[in-house]
Chain A
Amino acid sequence: TQLLEQSPQFLSIQEGENLTVYCNSSSVFSSLQWYRQEPGEGPVLLVTVVTGGEVKKLKRLTFQFGDARKDSSLHITAAQPGDTGLYLCAGEEAGGSYIPTFGRGTSLIVHP
């Protein structure tokens, strides 16, 4: 069983559309990170959320941490082809080993 479940697994949209991807767990997390990975490269850290209910914005990307710190979402407004990539969430389980665990990712393709 995957500790962090990401959905959807794949997303193919047109430029200008909005989208939301989800990262869910039955466990409570101390913090949660979002990464973007482009083909042939390593993941790049986008943001860390720590406090339940926290919302962070990074240009057209909005990240939210659930009140109970068991889930998170990433919303992209007016997607652009440059947003194409694999979006990964990762976190450390509260009271756990302090080694981050990763979800399997959402693969996003934005068509011009």
Chain B
Amino acid sequence: DAGITQSPRHKVTETGTPVTLRCHQTENHRYMYWYRQDPGHGLRLIHYSYGVKDTDKGEVSDGYSVSRSKTEDFLLTLESATSSQTSVYFCAISEGRTDFYYEQYFGPGTRLTVT
């Protein structure tokens, strides 16, 4: 199994509070991704990183920011949590373009509830 951990695994927070989720990898992979998974929507990309300090937006980036100061850590921050951000958040890693494809390895997920 790829060495990916996410913390916390579960969190309940109130509307308007800031929240930071952490993803940590031990594989030294270049790419890291944050997804959210909701019923009826599948996995949707929030932000991704292609190197230290190199990040870009995904399809649902509004209300989220990310930072990557070290290869192994990718942080997702909800500046002011809203109920619509209640979801399961997955971190994924990838070596990058290898023989014409990207294969991703996922963490165990963080279940976030915003009340």
Residues of A within 8 A of B (CB): 30-31, 33, 35, 40-45, 48, 50, 88, 90, 92, 98-100, 102-105
* 19 residue pairs bridging A and B, Cβ less than 8 Å apart: A30-B100, A31-B101, A35-B106, A40-B109, A42-B90, A42-B107, A45-B104, A50-B99, A88-B42, A98-B97, A99-B45, A99-B48, A99-B58, A99-B102, A100-B102, A102-B43, A103-B42, A104-B40, A105-B42
**Among B97, B106, B108, which residue has the most Cβ atoms of chain A within 10 A?**
B106
> Closest chain A residue to B45 by CB distance?
A99
Residues of B within 8 A of A (CB): 4, 40-43, 45, 48, 58, 90, 92, 97, 99-109
Question: How far is B110's CA from A40's CA once the two chains are assembled, in angstroms?
Answer: 10
Say whether B101 contacts A33, CB under 8 Å. yes
Say whether B99 contacts A98, CB under 8 Å. no
> Would you give the shortest CB distance from A92 to chain B, in whole angstroms?
6
Say whether A104 contacts B45, CB under 8 Å. no
